[in-house]
Chains A and B, each alone.
Chain A
Amino acid sequence: MSVYDYLYFIILPVLALSALLIFIRFLIGPSLSDRVVALDLLITTGIGMIAIYSIITDQPTFLDIAMILGLIAFLGTVAFAYYIEKKKRK
C-alpha cells in the first residue's frame, strides 16, 4: 500500500466526513453566527483537502489556490462580523 493509496483511501474520506459533519452544523445552526463559524471551518477543511490533492496529483500549483481560499475565508468572516454588528445598531 503506497502513500498515494493511503492518502486517497483513508485521509481524503476522513476529511470528507468532517466536511459533512460541519455542513450539518451549517444547515441547522440556530443563529447566523453559527453559520458563519461553520462556513469558516468548512473553507479551512477545504484548504486541507486541496493540500492532500496536490500531493496525490503531484502538482504544487494547487497550493496557490489554497492560499487564496484562506484569504477569502478571512475576508468573509470579517465582512459577516461587521454585518452582524451593524444589523443590531439600527
Chain B
Amino acid sequence: MTDYIIIFLASFGAIFILLAAVGILRMPDLYLRISVTTKAATLGVGLILLCVAAYFGEASITTRALAIIFFLLLTAPVGAHLIGRASYFVNTPLWKKSVMDDLKGKYSKTSEGSSSEESDGKITDVNHGDNTAKTKK
C-alpha cells in the first residue's frame, strides 16, 4: 500500500516539476516565468517531500519533511515578489501582448513623460526612503 502512495506522489511531483521547467523555458515574459517558478515547482517539490515522509514513516523524518515544505511555502512567494519588484524598477519589458499594467507611470521614470516628477517623488517615498534621502542630502 505504501508503495502505491509513494509512486503516486512521486509521479505527480515529477510531472509538476517538469511542467515548471517547460514553463520557464517557453513563457515569453519574466513575470510569467516568476509565476511558474513560484507555483508549479513549489507544488512539485512539496509532493516529493510528502512522498519521502510516507516512505520513512517515522515521526522525526515526517517532521523534517513538513518543516522543509513549510519553509518552501514561506520563502517562495517572498523571493518571487522581491525579484519581480526589483526587476520592475529596472524597466524589464513586459510581454508585448500584455493587456494591462497597473503600475504604469507610478514607479518608472521614463514610461510617462507628463507625470515624471510625481513619479520621482513616489520613488523616494515608496522605496527605501531613508537611503535616497541620505544620498540626496
Listed in ascending order, the chain A residues whose CB lies under 8 Å from chain B are 3, 6-7, 10-11, 14-15, 17-19, 21-22, 24-25, 31, 33-34, 36-38, 40-41, 44-45, 47-48, 51-52, 54-55, 60, 63-64, 66-67, 70-71, 73-74, 77-78, 80-82, 84-85, 87-89
Contacts and interface: CB of A to CB of B under 8 A. Distances in A.
Contact of A36 (B20, B51, B83): B83
B72 interface: yes
Given A15-B14, A45-B17, A67-B64, A84 B86 contact: yes
Contact of A45 (B3, B10, B15, B41): B41
30 contacts: A11-B10, A15-B14, A18-B20, A21-B22, A24-B25, A25-B33, A31-B92, A33-B30, A33-B87, A34-B30, A37-B30, A37-B34, A40-B37, A41-B41, A44-B41, A44-B45, A45-B41, A48-B49, A51-B49, A52-B48, A52-B52, A55-B51, A63-B64, A66-B49, A73-B79, A74-B79, A77-B79, A81-B85, A84-B86, A84-B87
A3 B83 contact: no
B interface bracket (residues with beta carbon within 8 Å of A): 35 or more
Contact of B90 (A70, A73, A84): A84
